[in-house]
Structure 1
Amino acid sequence: MRSARVELFARIRRDQRHEDLSIRALAERHGVHRRTVRQALAAAEPPPRKPRTRPASILDPFKPAIDEMLREDLTAPRKQRHTATRIWNRLVDEHGAQVGYPSVRDYVRPRRREIAVEAGIASAAATVPQEHAPGAEAEVDFGEFMVDLAGVRTKAFLFVYRMSHSGKAVHRAYPTLSQESFLEGHVAAFEELGGVPTLQIKYDNLGQAVSRVLGGRKRDENPRWALFRSHYGFDAFYCEPGIDGAHEKGGVEGEVGRFRRAWLTPVPKFDTWSDLNDYIRGCEARDDKRRITGRLATIGQSFEDERAKLRPLPEDRFEPGQMLTPMVDRSALVTIRQAKYSVPASLVDRRVRALLRASEVLIYDGRTLVARHERVTERYGQSVQLDHYLELLMRKPGALAGSTALAHARTSGAFTPEHDAFWQASRRVNGDAAGTRELIDVLLLHRHLPADTVVAGIRAAMSVGSVLAEVVAVEARRITENTTAPALESSVPATSNVASLTQRRLMDPLAVIAGLPPDRRPTPSVAHYDELLARRRAKQHAALNQVEGVTPS
């Protein structure tokens, strides 16, 4: 607005110089008051506008009382200080004020800090610009976002590690805000970037690292976190608690929100945590071409210069998971962090080793890996695999129908409609117990063959009316062996590869089933056996007459 008045004054002064017009003529030409023309001719710079006088606020008479309440808070116990709501209630009750709560809130918010600064308790809200040496510092924080995981809306936690100099950041999504996620995120960031900062990494007072906040910047650290820092050889810088320390790691604070808005909006959809993190890695690669405001080089270019300044990684990789030794109960389940996981039934009443990681649980019998589960995040949840109970169900086939393992297998999709159809057909032919055992033999094939080939083997066997596990096994192995063979590219359907001799007799003799040549032999006949039966009857009749003393005529 002021620049427009300067231009107006310049035009008025120019017209007066070149044309020597009167004040009235200049006012009419430029559409302004004669007073404005006189001001322009008197000085090239417009005079400052008079400040607008606003009517007194209804809150003005009560501001001294509010200030007094805030000064009382300087020495009051921390948990018994005035809130804006309490100040408003006191104004209404004690001073008869007819003011609204928003007016009180808007005045109290900035005035509280001003009074603290006046008393010397707080400093003015100002920051000192900082320079970060290449490879020296990094910042870490967690954020939250939602993801549709296998069709279920799930809360996820985003670990963010950001280099202070270049702005290069590493992001990883985890199902829990646990120490395992915290450590695993660090390991992933160190290995992704190829080194460790030489000076320090900045943190909030996260429970995964800090057991207790002491005076100043002293902290009681979690023992496992202290061991992790010692292994990788870096120092931790802990920010001031609360909002007062947010600016001390403002780079990563802003990065959490920026990445969420840029790449995790709208709500992403993935089947597994691994798929989600693969997507995040791709987003990070695209972020390398981004330029931070005020910088000429991209993030990727800045980090290439910074990479050589990082401290090399130690030779041994730190295991971020936590090793536990749970006992296997009578249901072949172990309890880890209030969740249950299945193990092979042969391990009942034995102690096993469980490696608890951020997104998975690995269970060992000695040095042998016997079970792998996705980590269960809900309290009292279960992860039960049907495969762990097959040997037990072979002895107790009647327990399969109502088992928890079967229910979990149906929910996860491991027990398909093809398995169910085979089971039903086998029970009709072989009876409940024997039919269920045939199904269990089919399920055991999954330990050695891909799931899709086993399902294809079930379809092939049932297409010719077979409910034998041996037929399923033969066909599944044939499909596995011939996956890349040209025969699979032929027009013969896969289900026709199981031969049925009865069908071969009835079909066109030129048809080829399962790759066998046509059977041109004549159909077997029992006519010749009728002659043998006639001779046998004659011999039997002669022997009977001899016993009775009858001489044949």
Structure 2
Amino acid sequence: MWQQIRHPEREATIWAVWSSERPHLMPVGQPFDGYVEHTKRVSPTCLVHFERNRYSVPASFANRPVSLHVYADRLVFVAEGQTIAEHARCIDRKHALGRTFYDWRHYLAVIQRKPGALRNGAPFSELPDGFRQLQKILLKRPGGDREMVDILALVLMHDEAAVLTAVELALEAGIPSKQTILNILSRLLDNQPVPPVEAPQAFALQIEPLANVDRYDRLRGKHHAA
């Protein structure tokens, strides 16, 4: 529309006038961070209530106050000078009970203390497909809860995509176990190529064998049966 609307003071369009002025404008400094800040207290279940909805934060901040930065499209939770969680903002004008938005990573500290919570815990109903397939297999085994928790905890130390790839490769190989996933993950994270082995085409003997049975008799010595 600027290319069509005439400027009220000049014989040109608004677009042409703006294009001529643009090189002389001052550069924009730090972008304006427009948000509304609220102080919220995290519930014992690691949730923060806002606009009838509930959003999860890391379990280490349960029962503690946090700062909520409300943007038009997202919610950012800040504590101790750092961003601890971020969720897409859900705007629903219906007078309903609201929705709960979980991030399963926020509850890893909880299931490390209580592995049994992994079976029916609501935050873990939305795991990636590879983790869910592995969970169905491991929870049928004795000690499978603890093994699955240890595998999920790998995302705290390594890239989640790499851990998920290791899980998928273990499932394809038909060996879904913690040790197999750790071995595959270590190979994925090791970017150093294996050095080539330089071996000769054929091996040459330094001492050629002799067809001499007397050598055997000397090895036997005098300790032999009559």
Taking structure 1 as the reference length, the TM-score comes to 0.30
Q: For residue 50 of structure 2, what is the amino acid of its counterpart?
A: I
1-structure distance, mates of 2:30, 2:139: 55
Aligned residue for 1:370, secondary structure, equals strand
Residue number among 32, 57, 60 corresponding to 1:346 in the alignment: 60
1:374 partnered with 2:83: no
Counterpart in the other structure of 1:401: 119
Quickly say closer, same or farther: Cα 1:456–1:314, change in 2 above 3 A: closer
Contact 2:6 2:13 in 1 (8 A): no
1:97-128 CA-partner distances (Å, limit 9, x unpaired)? xxxxxxxxxxxxxxxxxxxxxxxxxxxxxxxx
Counterpart in the other structure of 2:37: 323
Contact 1:328 1:348 in 2 (8 A): yes
Counterpart in the other structure of 2:128: 416
Residue number among 82, 88, 106 corresponding to 1:388 in the alignment: 106
Contact 1:339 1:378 in 2 (8 A): no
Contact 2:73 2:89 in 1 (8 A): yes
Q: Is there any run of 5+ residues in structure 2 with no aligned partner, and where?
A: 195-226
Structure in which a larger fraction of residues adopt helix: 1
Quickly say closer, same or farther: Cα 1:293–1:357, change in 2 above 3 A: closer
Q: Is there any run of 5+ residues in structure 1 with no aligned partner, and where?
A: 1-165, 168-290, 410-414, 488-553
Counterpart in the other structure of 2:138: 426
Aligned residue for 1:341, secondary structure, equals strand
1-structure distance, mates of 2:29, 2:171: 55
Q: For residue 389 of structure 1, what is the amino acid of its counterpart?
A: Y
1:242-291 CA-partner distances (Å, limit 9, x unpaired)? xxxxxxxxxxxxxxxxxxxxxxxxxxxxxxxxxxxxxxxxxxxxxxxxx4
Q: For residue 447 of structure 1, what is the amino acid of its counterpart?
A: L
Contact 1:326 1:334 in 2 (8 A): yes
What is the deviation of 1:465?
4.4
2-structure distance, mates of 1:348, 1:320: 27
Alpha-carbon RMSD across the aligned residues, in angstroms, is 3.1
1:337 partnered with 2:51: yes
Q: For residue 117 of structure 2, what is the amino acid of its counterpart?
A: A
What is the deviation of 1:486?
8.0
Counterpart in the other structure of 1:365: 79
Contact 1:449 1:477 in 2 (8 A): no
Contact 1:328 1:349 in 2 (8 A): yes
Q: Percent identity?
A: 24
1-structure distance, mates of 2:164, 2:29: 45
1:121-177 CA-partner distances (Å, limit 9, x unpaired)? xxxxxxxxxxxxxxxxxxxxxxxxxxxxxxxxxxxxxxxxxxxxx92xxxxxxxxxx
Contact 1:454 1:476 in 2 (8 A): yes
Counterpart in the other structure of 1:479: 188
Aligned residue for 1:362, secondary structure, equals strand
Contact 1:426 1:435 in 2 (8 A): yes
Q: Which has the higher contact order (CA 8 A, sep 6+)?
A: 2
Quickly say closer, same or farther: Cα 1:477–1:302, change in 2 above 3 A: farther
Contact 1:327 1:349 in 2 (8 A): yes
Quickly say closer, same or farther: Cα 1:486–1:314, change in 2 above 3 A: closer
1:444-494 CA-partner distances (Å, limit 9, x unpaired)? 222343443222211332345444334313312422444xx889xxxxxxx
Taking structure 2 as the reference length, the TM-score comes to 0.69
1-structure distance, mates of 2:162, 2:144: 21
Q: For residue 181 of structure 2, what is the amino acid of its counterpart?
A: V
1:387-424 CA-partner distances (Å, limit 9, x unpaired)? 111111122222223222123x2xxxxx2332122112
